[in-house]
Amino acid sequence: MNRVNVLCIKWGTKYGAEYVNKLRSMVGRHLGRPFRFVCLTDDGTGIGSDVEVYDIPKVGVPDFDARKPWTFDHGWLKLTCLAEPLYDLTGTTLFVDLDVVIVDSIDCFFEEPGEFIVIKEWDKRDETGNTSVFRYEVGAHADALANLAANQQRVLGSVRNEQEYITGYIARQGRLKYWPEAWCRSFKRHCVRGGVIGWFRPPRIPAGARIIAFHGKPNPPDAILGRSGKWYRRVLPTPWVADNWR
């Protein structure tokens, strides 16, 4: 069985090293094939020895390489994982955001056919994908970085964030595919119970879910304690998050 890559990225101070270490641990429990676990980061302090740590690479996009402030917003630095070369990494790679909880086997993410597979964005009717979890081949989409470098102002004027850019770009090439809907679910959209029920019953794991994405608020530590991060959303303490986010 060929070895695969699982890749994450950490920059700034929003997520600490514990997010990387817990993600590595979750992957180790839920992936039944050989893998390399790699983190691209601007600060490797506190990241465990079972993680391969590399600097966020220079990719030929001047603002990225200079770390201009806008590149730290809306996930743009994720696109550095599309670089060619990407250190010594080759082959099939699953990118996973730090703010997720893995609740079941992720072997299927390496078995699904497709060139670039991503979550279908839950609140979009166009082709936009959610890049919390996507799979690609290292080096296969470096043209997206070249296009951004050559057309930065036009690109930035036409999209809100990196996931609109990269999934739109690849969709126009006819190379975009989405994960089966049940595999990747949103904590606040699919786990938190709606309306009055959410005040009395804790969030649940949706049937068939394998990865729960914690985009926005709350984050996993908040969900464990029952903090929603929003005045209008009630989240009761959620033990299954604590059971899995470790």
pLDDT of residue 195: 83
Q: What is the pLDDT of residues 32-84, one digit of tens each?
A: 999 999 999 999 999 999 999 999 999 999 999 999 999 988 899 999 999 99
- 104, 207: one domain: no
pTM of the model as a whole: 0.96
- 151, 212: one domain: no
Nearest CA-CA partner of 212 in 239, 241, 186: 186
Q: Enter the DSSP assignment of 201.
A: S
CATH number at residue 63: 3.90.550.10
- 136, 217: one domain: no
Q: Percentage of the chain surpassing pLDDT 70?
A: 100
pLDDT of residue 123: 87
pLDDT of residue 1: 80
* 218 contacts 188 by C-beta, under 8 angstroms: yes
- 27, 50: one domain: yes
C-alpha 47/C-alpha 70 separation (Å) is 26
Query: 216 pLDDT band (50/70/90 cuts)?
Result: confident
C-alpha 99/C-alpha 42 separation (Å) is 18
Domain that holds residue 222: 184-244
Number of domains in the chain: 2
Nearest CA-CA partner of 24 in 96, 118, 107, 89: 96
For the residues of 22-37, what is the DSSP string, one character each?
HHHHHHHHH--S-EEE
- 16, 50: one domain: yes
- 161, 194: one domain: no
- 161, 192: one domain: no
